[in-house]
Chains A and B, each alone.
Chain A
Amino acid sequence: NAGVTQTPKFQVLKTGQSMTLQCAQDMNHEYMSWYRQDPGMGLRLIHYSVGAGITDQGEVPNGYNVSRSTTEDFPLRLLSAAPSQTSVYFCASSYGASFSYGYTFGSGTRLTVV
């Protein structure tokens, strides 16, 4: 049972490049979310999903796309990287609050855009 797996752990991008951050969970969780965390800041919700085929925008969705074709995977795509997207990105998953279940977080992807 690997939990929530994020790849890559570190990435440096040039401005304008695109890339996909991968997130996979093996706990059969329906709920999955992406957060970004800037130095000294809290966690800001980018996009979230309550099941395969269902996604919705969070607090800071601009510049990011997501898709959820399977229960296990929830990739985050940066369309055209900007220095303002330099951050640590966390993926998280859960059975949902109605089951009194919190979120399990991945170890994060540290992204630098130059």
Chain B
Amino acid sequence: QQPVQSPQAVILREGEDAVINCSSSKALYSVHWYRQKHGEAPIFLMILLKGGEQKGHDKISASFNEKKQQSSLYLTASQLSYSGTYFCGTEGSSNTGKLIFGQGTTLQVKP
């Protein structure tokens, strides 16, 4: 079942922060986050496995609440290069290889 992302779109000024949420109605084994720029392929950002961990690199981090079947992507001090569409992908309760993506969140960072 497709995860639900919110918000659908975000407009920021450089330096502002953003949070993108991803929720599922089913138990999850893993949550993936990807960014896609217009006309390009999606690029992998990070993966979180069940266990309630938080990950991050540079100014982008993510959390995974296994009990609530939710994940959030945190973008701090946004840069122009952060613009694009962000997708979360979820994999069911075991490592099945069946990765289902949400509908995407469009992020636009303005100078």
Chain A contacts to B: CB under 8 angstroms: 31, 33, 35, 41-45, 48-50, 56, 58-59, 90, 94, 96-98, 100-108
Name the CB-closest residue of B to A98.
B95
Chain B residues with CB under 8 Å of A50's CB are 96-97
Name the CB-closest residue of A to B101.
A43
Name the CB-closest residue of B to A43.
B101
Which of under 10, 10 to 19, 20 to 34, or 35 or more describes the interface residues of B? 20 to 34
User: Which chain B residues numbered 93 to 111 have a C-beta less than 8 Å away from chain A?
Assistant: 95-104
User: Which chain B residues numbered 78 to 93 have a C-beta less than 8 Å away from chain A?
Assistant: 87, 89, 91
Interface string of B56-82 (1 = CB under 8 A from A): 000000000000000000000000000
Chain A residues with CB under 8 Å of B103's CB are 41-42
CB-CB nearest 10 A-B residue pairs: A102-B44, A97-B30, A105-B41, A43-B101, A50-B97, A42-B103, A31-B97, A98-B95, A42-B104, A102-B47
CB within 8 Å: A-B pair count? 69
Q: B46 contacts the other chain (Cβ, under 8 Å)? A: yes
Chain B residues with CB under 8 Å of A43's CB are 42, 87, 89, 101
A42 pairs with B101, CB closer than 8 A: yes
B47 pairs with A97, CB closer than 8 A: yes
Chain B residues with CB under 8 Å of A106's CB are 41
Whether A102 touches B97, Cβ cut-off 8 Å, given contacts A42-B103, A90-B41, A107-B41, is: no
Of B43, B98, B102, which contacts A56 at CB under 8 A? B98
A42 pairs with B102, CB closer than 8 A: yes
Name the CB-closest residue of A to B45.
A102
Of A49, A97, A105, which contacts B95 at CB under 8 A? A97
* Minimum Cβ distance to chain B for residue A102 (Å): 3
